[in-house]
Amino acid sequence: MRVADDTSAESGPGISINHDHSHKANRPTFVNSQCWVTLALVVRVRLGSALTVPIRSWLVEESGQRGKLWVARQLIDSVRGHVTDARLLIDAWFMRRSLILPLLEQRVRIIGQVRRDTALYFLPQPEPRRRGRKRKYGLRIDAAVLEALPAKMMELALCGKAQSVRLRSVNAVARFLKGLPVRVVCPGGHFKIPHLWPGQIPPVATAGA
């Protein structure tokens, strides 16, 4: 599995004012720091344990058009011929259409966290033939809808040990991905941290936890 994420460093060249979205206690919302985007590879070293190996890091420019999304795309492209058949794990900040759709065209499998206000809809129901375009979206999926879905208990390796996790999942379409089919997975049955599998509807939701 590949992981792309950003981090801050408070000393060195290229320092600018950046938003600190880690929400740490007693920390300001904006900090004067560097911004690095890192691509790492997660490998399983033994049963129930994994090792994260940083592959490449890129210092985001203080000004200009080369932001974090552009840098993430360059890092992913740089290892495309060397790392194959690996999912890409990203957080809510990187779950943007401009990054995801080109990667899906390259058959990159993506798992990402989304904001809780992301517009998600059921797949449209079959309807009789009529004039005009077919419906792209069904009913809106909100917290109440997800809470009513049946929960499934799964045994997953988390933090180096086996833990029981309660998951709710549903097939849906995402508006920010232009109606692309996705798999929505909510750990713990709450709508606070939904995860998506864009571009495909897998048979199980294990990897979305």
Give buried/exposed letters for 162-184 (b at 16+ CB in 10 A, else e).
eeeeebbbbebbbebbeebebbb
Helix (H, G, I), strand (E, B), or coil: what is residue 203? Answer: coil
Q: Return the pLDDT at 194.
A: 57
pLDDT reported for residue 203: 32
Q: Supply the pTM of this predicted model.
A: 0.75
Band of residue 198 on the pLDDT scale cut at 50, 70, 90: low
97: which residues sit within 8 A by CB, 6+ positions away? 176, 177, 178
- Give which of 75, 63, 68 is closest to 39, Cα–Cα: 75
Q: What percent of the chain has pLDDT over 70?
A: 82
pLDDT of residue 191: 43
Q: What is the pLDDT of residue 35?
A: 84
CA distance 41 to 2: 5
pLDDT band at 192 (very low <50, low <70, confident <90, very high): very low
Answer whether 176's CB lies under 8 Å from 97's CB.
yes
Reported as a single tens digit per residue, the pLDDT across 65-83 is 778 899 999 998 888 878 7
pLDDT confidence of residue 47: 63
pLDDT at 204: 31
Give pLDDT, residue 155.
81
Write down the mean pLDDT value for the chain: 78
Quick one: pLDDT at residue 41?
87
- What's the rounded Cα separation, in Å, for the pair 41 and 176? 27
Q: Tell me the angle at which helices 97-105 and 68-78 cross, rounded to the nearest 10 degrees.
A: 20
pLDDT at 164 over 70: yes
Q: Predicted confidence band at 137 (pLDDT cuts at 50, 70, 90)? A: confident
Whether residue 129 contacts residue 167, with contact meaning beta carbons closer than 8 Å, is answered with no
Amino acid 39: pLDDT: 92
Kindly indicate the confidence band of residue 48, based on its pLDDT and cuts at 50, 70 and 90. Answer: low
